[in-house]
Structure 1
Amino acid sequence: MPRYERVVPYSASTGALLAGYLRHRATISRARGPLFLPESRRNHGQPLTLWSWSKIVRRLGLAADLPRFATHTTRHLCLTDLARMGWELHTIASFAGHRSTESTMKYIHLSGRDLADKLARGMEQIHAWRIAQLAQLATRSSASLRAPVRWRRRRALLTGCSWRYRSGAIASFLRQPSRTPSCSMR
């Protein structure tokens, strides 16, 4: 299976830590190759194996009282944070080096609170749009007592009610914004 190149962005603080490690790494070995090198007597300067890396991360997790912390935990956290920031799924998949968005979905773990917040933000936008549309309809309805049938149908689409409204229902709703629209029919 071919390996794909990946670009790994990092913060300024991570860059400072990495620069410090690279200076230290030069004291272990100046050879090009793997980034992390062990300093043990047995494998000094040899490439760090996946098994050793997993053990190191496991020990760090246990020391921090995070027994489920593993090598992939930070990857899951990063991709979840990108989803919380509103990145699109395809963009996250590209960033992660995934060829399929299904793979990316396995990494993203949004909580019920995250989903509720996203729904609330979306509903605020929808509600504002509906109010603006209803305000336009109200001004048109007040100009003529009987709105054309297409406008009554549009009102029904916006509010989810039957399209046979009493002409004053929209205007009374707009005067009392704290109430939900009622489906008062003829």
Structure 2
Amino acid sequence: MALVKKILPAIVALIVIAYLFIFETPSTRLFDKPSDQATQKAPAFFMTDFVSSQYDENGRLSQQLRGLRADHFQPKGKASAKDYTLVQQLKADIYNPDQAPWHIVADKGRATHRGDRIELTGNVHLFQKDPVKGVTELFTNKLIYFTKRQVAQTNAPVKIVTPQGVTTAKGLKANIKTEQFTLTKKVKGIYEPD
């Protein structure tokens, strides 16, 4: 009986080890290189409550991006031109010399082309609070912002509110640097002169 008590743990350990090697052997596919058609389902990394700042060649703050969460995806399984980042509760500030800053707020953003292009969706609000000209606001549900060129465009309905009036249209191209807005289709406006 004492011999059985001493040998029993060793027998149980051998049975468990044999079971693991026979039935639970890890698949050799774990070590295979992923195919080019493989797609990533989970983010490669994520950030929460983040701030990203960019500076111009003179060291001045040019853009600042904030968000509640950012999930970065690498569809090829490694860094490539196909990478993209999904941002929740996006807020961006755009700074240019001799100009009041522009601000962008959106429910979601999808940054592509190494951050050069951000597709904004859901309650998109682009606005500027200028101490001389007053507040200029743009509202839409979809907007594409090109960060390097500081150009925003959409084919969706837009509403622009300024101290002089309200303008609506379907489609817009806006150059943030030059503050020129071009409305493309179905433009309607109410203008109130000073």
Please classify the TM superposition score into its range, dividing by the shorter chain length: under 0.3
More helix by share: 1
More strand by share: 2
Output the TM-score relative to the length of structure 2.
0.24
Rg (Cα) greater in structure: 1
